[in-house]
């Protein structure tokens, strides 16, 4: 696999099992060996840099493509590129969410603001990974408190209701993340846009990439990579987009895939 020079990893369900606070021992070992072998590494996640697990940050990946492609951060946490959401789009999405009883919140670099159904959002938001997220209630009057534009969005609700919200907001992608939660981001972005920016900085292309993911928001990068690897417990959208399906994250999935392709 001489053409593979860069590894791209989703976090939740890929590097870290959902609900856990740390990577598997074999995952840490595999990535450390890959880096020593000269492979570049990129994180591509729906999380902001502020909410990435400590042991993931400790590895010092070359770049972090965060908030589903809205932000590119270097290994020291410095923001290199940031794409904010459009105000008109934000307000329209909030209106639809309220109409169809969908909890909606917006992602900033260091906190999350709810704009509708705060209590329902808190009840159903997966926060069992040990990271102290700042989820702030802005539901009273989100618009008047919109002092700066967010980088991304997350909605929680029944699938049929979220589909109705999505149908009224065609400029946005709605991709299931976990449970009844969906990542929402501008259709012009997604993880691949920011991964490409990182690849350009390293003079690499998608032909040099092996990408790992487990969910719908990973599907595009799995397709674009020279080799796309879906985790064994991943959803059908990720698996259909992949070239290879490894074992589950808790069953040495990263280690097994890198060994399978003779990269470690």
pLDDT at residue number 130: 57
CB 259, CB 225: distance < 8 Å? no
Long-range CB contacts (within 8 A, 24+) of 162-169: 162/100, 162/102, 164/96, 164/99, 164/100, 165/93, 165/96, 165/97, 165/99, 165/100, 165/102, 168/92, 168/96, 169/89, 169/92, 169/93, 169/96
Dihedral pair phi/psi, residue 82, rounded to 5°: -140, 130
Q: Which fold has domain 6-82+189-260?
A: Rossmann fold (3.40.50)
Model confidence over 243-256: pLDDT tens digits? 999 999 999 999 99
Nearest to 72 by CA among 178, 175, 200: 200
Average pLDDT along the chain: 92
Q: In what order do the strands lie in the sheet with 209-213?
A: 79-82, 71-74, 63-66, 40-44, 6-9, 209-213, 227-230, 244-245
Q: In the Cβ-directed half-sphere of 232, how many Cα atoms lie within 13 Å?
A: 12
CB 262, CB 33: distance < 8 Å? no
Share of the chain above pLDDT 90, in %: 76
Please say whether the structural domain 87-186 has been given the CATH code 3.30.1240.10: yes
User: Residue 109 — pLDDT band, cuts 50, 70, 90?
Assistant: confident
pLDDT at residue number 132: 59
pLDDT at residue number 74: 94
- Among the residue ranges 103-107, 120-124, 198-202, the one predicted with the least confidence is 120-124
pLDDT at residue number 126: 64
- SS3 state of residue 70: coil
CB 124, CB 181: distance < 8 Å? yes
* Cα 228 to Cα 246: distance, rounded to the nearest angstrom: 10
* Cα 9 to Cα 254: distance, rounded to the nearest angstrom: 9
Model confidence over 113-167: pLDDT tens digits? 999 999 999 988 866 555 556 889 999 989 999 999 999 999 999 999 999 999 9
* Cα 115 to Cα 151: distance, rounded to the nearest angstrom: 14
Domain boundaries along the sequence of the chain: 6-82+189-260, 87-186
User: Which residue is it, tokens 């698996």?
Assistant: 239
- SS3 state of residue 185: strand
* Cα 65 to Cα 71: distance, rounded to the nearest angstrom: 6
Q: In the Cβ-directed half-sphere of 199, how many Cα atoms lie within 13 Å?
A: 23
pLDDT at residue number 125: 82
Model confidence over 17-69: pLDDT tens digits? 987 889 999 999 999 999 999 999 999 998 888 889 999 999 999 999 998 88
């Amino acid at each position: 696999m001489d053409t593979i020079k860069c590894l791209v990893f989703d976090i939740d369900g890929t590097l870290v099992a959902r609900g856990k606070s740390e990577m598997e021992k074999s995952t840490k070992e595999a990535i450390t060996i890959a880096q020593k072998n000269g492979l570049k590494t990129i994180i591509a996640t729906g999380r902001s840099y502020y909410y990435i697990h400590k042991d993931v940050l400790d590895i010092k990946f070359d770049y972090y493509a965060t908030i589903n492609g809205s932000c590119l951060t270097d290994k020291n946490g410095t923001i290199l590129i940031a794409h904010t959401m459009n105000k008109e789009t934000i307000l329209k999405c909030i209106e639809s969410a309220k109409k169809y009883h969908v909890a909606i919140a917006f992602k900033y670099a260091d906190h999350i603001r709810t704009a509708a159904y705060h209590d329902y959002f808190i009840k159903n938001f997966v926060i069992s990974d040990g990271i102290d997220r700042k989820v702030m209630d802005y539901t009273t009057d989100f618009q008047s408190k919109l002092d700066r534009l967010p980088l991304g969005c997350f909605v929680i609700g029944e699938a049929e209701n979220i589909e109705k919200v999505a149908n009224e907001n065609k400029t946005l992608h709605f991709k299931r993340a976990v449970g009844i939660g969906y990542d929402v981001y501008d259709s012009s972005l997604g993880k691949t846009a920011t991964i490409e920016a990182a690849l350009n900085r390293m003079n690499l292309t998608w032909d040099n990439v092996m990408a790992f993911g487990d969910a719908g928001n990973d599907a595009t990068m799995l397709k674009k990579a020279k080799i796309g690897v879906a985790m064994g417990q991943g959803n059908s959208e990720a698996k259909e987009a992949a070239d290879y399906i490894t074992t589950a994250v808790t069953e040495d999935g990263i280690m097994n895939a890198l060994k399978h392709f003779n990269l470690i």
